[in-house]
Chains A and B, each alone.
Chain A
Amino acid sequence: MMIMLDKLSFYWQYPFVQYALIVGVLIALCSSLLGVTLVLKRFSFIGDGLSHVAFGAMAIATAVNLSNRFFLVLPATVLCAVLLLRAGQNTRIKGDAAIAMISVGALAIGYLIMNLFSKSSNLSGDVCATLFGSTSILTLSETEVWLCVVLSVLVIAVFLLFYHKIFAVTFDEDFSTATGVSAKTYNLILAIIIAVVIVLAMNLVGALLISALVIFPALSAMRIFKSFKAVSICSVIVSVACAVMGILISILAGTPVGSTIVAVDIVGFFSFGFVGVFMKGAKTL
């Protein structure tokens, strides 16, 4: 135990470890806030789809040597999020198919472009890092951390301000529109903050594992809690706790950060599921 604490306090001196923890907690917080809504709206896979779009945009940005890749990645992802969420019901190609199409398409084009234009000798390593985020959270610069802090604060503020509207629009879009609450506007706001969170999260866990951050905390919370408020609060706590634990474990054990966090999330999910079943059993006894 002492050895572990010593090791942690040794690593804590390094700014990159501090940055990783700050960014990790913020992203876990933001993604779990939105996760509840996304899972309930049957858009669980939008995280995956959009992260592939972000991957594609990142590949293009790398190919044309953009100095700050955020400036291309963020608008491209926001645009796709708006298209997917707004189109939702009234298009020929329905929600899940549209997500699958954009997701696979962006992934393929992204890889193609990386292959054609990459100047790096370690191409598969680059792709792997972008998809699984194996190291990028440990190589954050101070500017990136500040950008992440500002965007997270924005996302949290928007969520708190529109909390009741987001609930109403998620629960029943038709009723909201019919009684004069503009579901379209709130869907647009949601789409934008979802895209922002996903671009942020790509730095932490990489494109492929973003879905896990969105889905697991929300599903875990839903095993036990039964009101929207309780589920939202619980999923935030679960998500932040899992992220902190995952990062610490990955430092101690030398495992990849992204997949370690997701592994902790999976453990969390099954523990909550177990407690949920137990609680139900206790009630019927």
Chain B
Amino acid sequence: MQLVACENLTLGYEGEKVVSDLSFTVHAGDYLCIVGENGSGKSTLMKTLLGLKTQMAGRIEIGGGLENSEIGYLPQQTVVQKDFPASVREVVRSGCLNRSGIRPFYSKAEKQMAEDNMELLGIRMLAKRCYRELSGGQQQRTLLARALCAARKILLLDEPAAGLDPKAAADMYDLIERLNHDGITMIMISHDMEASVKYASHILHIGNQSALFFGTKKDYLESGAGHIYAGLGGAQA
């Protein structure tokens, strides 16, 4: 089942083109890694997929009965969150807001969903703790649990392991792989080539102003682009 299809996308901001002619598709159950250098337009692409920005040209098709509000999102942490007084439970529950409409409180089912997702990610015992006092890995799990409350079909992850120590990063990648096995489609931005080629099923490599490669991981490793980067990352699958 095809969930997202992009055709000849051109992205940019304030009239300036960042990347053009992006075409790729995402099917249910895929694990797509978007790789590329800083400033190549990875985050812009993700924001466009989420509807936070509009594309300059091209088409994005959301299919398979997927509504825009059914996309979960794990953003990079913002400065505001660093000293925000909020309990883990409050943050996770806020993921349910997109289905509550104008109802001013959470329903029983929504509260239960928040508890279940905290359980799933192993942060239930942290529920009453303050978000800003957690370790980086625990904070990412909290945000991931919130994303799961918002959507159970597809998740967009913006550098989920940024700023984590190697152990916490590996745990995070394992967790994401587990969720992917449970049937959640993943689209992830990553700087970490090693992890990308280890976990992903598909790779989208954005180069200077255009897509260098899109296809399965296997094809990527045999392609020219894959050789350069996988070589640099030190990973040989």
A255 at the interface (CB under 8 A from B): no
Residues of A within 8 A of B90 (CB): 167, 227-229
B146 at the interface (CB under 8 A from A): yes
Residues of B within 8 A of A179 (CB): 69, 71-73, 95, 97-98, 150-151
B72→A172 contact, CB < 8 A: no
Query: 1/0 per position for B64-101, CB-CB distance to A under 8 A?
Result: 00011101110100111100111100110111011010
B133 at the interface (CB under 8 A from A): yes
A174→B52 contact, CB < 8 A: yes
Chain A, 30-69, CB within 8 A of any chain B CB:
40-42
Query: 1/0 per position for A148-184, CB-CB distance to B under 8 A?
Result: 0000000000001111110110111011111111000
Across chains A and B, the number of contacting residue pairs, with CB separation under 8 Å, is 95
A228→B85 contact, CB < 8 A: yes
Residues of A within 8 A of B100 (CB): 164
CB-nearest residue of chain A relative to B50?
A178
Interchain CB contact (< 8 A) of B130 among A42, A163, A164, A227? A227
CB-nearest residue of chain B relative to A36?
B85
Interchain CB contact (< 8 A) of B80 among A40, A222, A227? A40
B97→A41 contact, CB < 8 A: no
B86→A177 contact, CB < 8 A: no
B73→A175 contact, CB < 8 A: yes
Majority SS at the chain B contact face: mixed
Interface size class of A (residues with CB under 8 A): 20 to 34
B68→A228 contact, CB < 8 A: no
Residues of B within 8 A of A119 (CB): none
A171→B80 contact, CB < 8 A: yes
A227→B85 contact, CB < 8 A: yes
Residues of A within 8 A of B147 (CB): 175
Residues of B within 8 A of A180 (CB): 67-69, 98
Residues of B within 8 A of A229 (CB): 87, 90
A111 at the interface (CB under 8 A from B): no
CB-nearest residue of chain A relative to B74?
A175
CB-nearest residue of chain A relative to B95?
A179
A178→B80 contact, CB < 8 A: no
B97→A164 contact, CB < 8 A: yes
